[in-house]
Amino acid sequence: MYLLKAVEKKARSKKMLLEKQRNDLREAQKCDEYRMMGDAILMNLGKIRKGTSRVLLESPLEPKIKLKIDLTPGENPQETAQRYYKKYKKLKKARSTIKKRLALSKDAVTHLESLSKSLEKASSTADLDRLREVLVEEGLLQRMTAKKRKPEKQYRRFVTSRGWEVVVGRSARENDEITFHVAKPNDLFFHVSSASGSHTIMRVQGTGRVPGKKDIEEVASIAAYYSKARTSSVVPVAYAERRHVRKPRKAPPGTVMVEREKVVLVEPHKPDTTPKP
């Protein structure tokens, strides 16, 4: 169920955030330690040797407790103490903010877990619709909107006398489109061998039929008609399965290379049937 998956995904994200906030809070809780380290350094300046990287000093609050304090080479004790004080102030300020955010994250996780249980128990369409609306209102789910269908491009289309669909390009760019984006691998590709003209596609794939000689000649005559050889009495038209047609790299629109093509001689003929819309 996609509703449940959406809630569980958000819950996982919140739990990860919650764990990070807990780690941040644990670090912020150390703020008092950094203040004690700064105090201990200033109270024991005479005991800290130059170049020492770590010292063991008594806690200002409880002398029996020893504090291990890291020092930075090249930094004098006073500067180190100020650095610890600065860290103390920063973490003290962040501590209250982290606690508030942590509380909000805990509430969010509890709420999401409650929603998950409600979705698992939902037994009717009405229950799911109500919960879906809750998820939308809380920003956990986008409201479903009907996608506007992009209008299908109107290519030049015909139907032959025996019911074969034919698509004919009207420009070099459209020739590329119908050949490489409209045609299927087993459709037939037609083009005039001796003159420039429109790419012509015979839709064969998925029909469960095999075009005969008359079908091939009829489509070839259409390809001849939509070429510069239209006024010729006989025109050689090559055809091949679309899978044997490829476009050379960086070739201009409408340029193709064809393998395993066959040639049929036909008279150019304007389609008698009404173009498909």
Q: What is the pLDDT of residues 49-85, one digit of tens each?
A: 877 888 888 888 777 788 888 888 778 888 888 988 9
Residue that has been written with the tokens 């389609």 in this structure: 271
Looking at residues 91-100, what average pLDDT do you find? 88
Please give the CATH topology (third level) of the domain spanning 2-137.
Helix Hairpins (1.10.287)
State CA 104 to chain mean position distance: 31
pLDDT at residue 188, as a whole number: 97
pLDDT of res. 43:
86
The whole model's pTM is what?
0.47
Q: Would you say residue 230 has pLDDT above 80?
A: yes
pLDDT per residue over 109-123, tens digit each?
888 888 888 878 877
Q: Quick one: what percent of the chain has pLDDT higher than 90?
A: 37
Q: Confidence class of residue 142 from pLDDT cuts 50, 70 and 90?
A: low
List the domain boundaries for the chain.
2-137, 156-266
Per the CB < 8 A criterion, the answer to whether 264 and 216 are in contact is: yes
Q: What is the pLDDT of residue 146?
A: 42
Average pLDDT over residues 249-256: 87
Has residue 240 got a pLDDT over 50?
yes
- Segment 139-158 shows an average pLDDT of 64
Question: Average pLDDT of 202-224?
Answer: 95
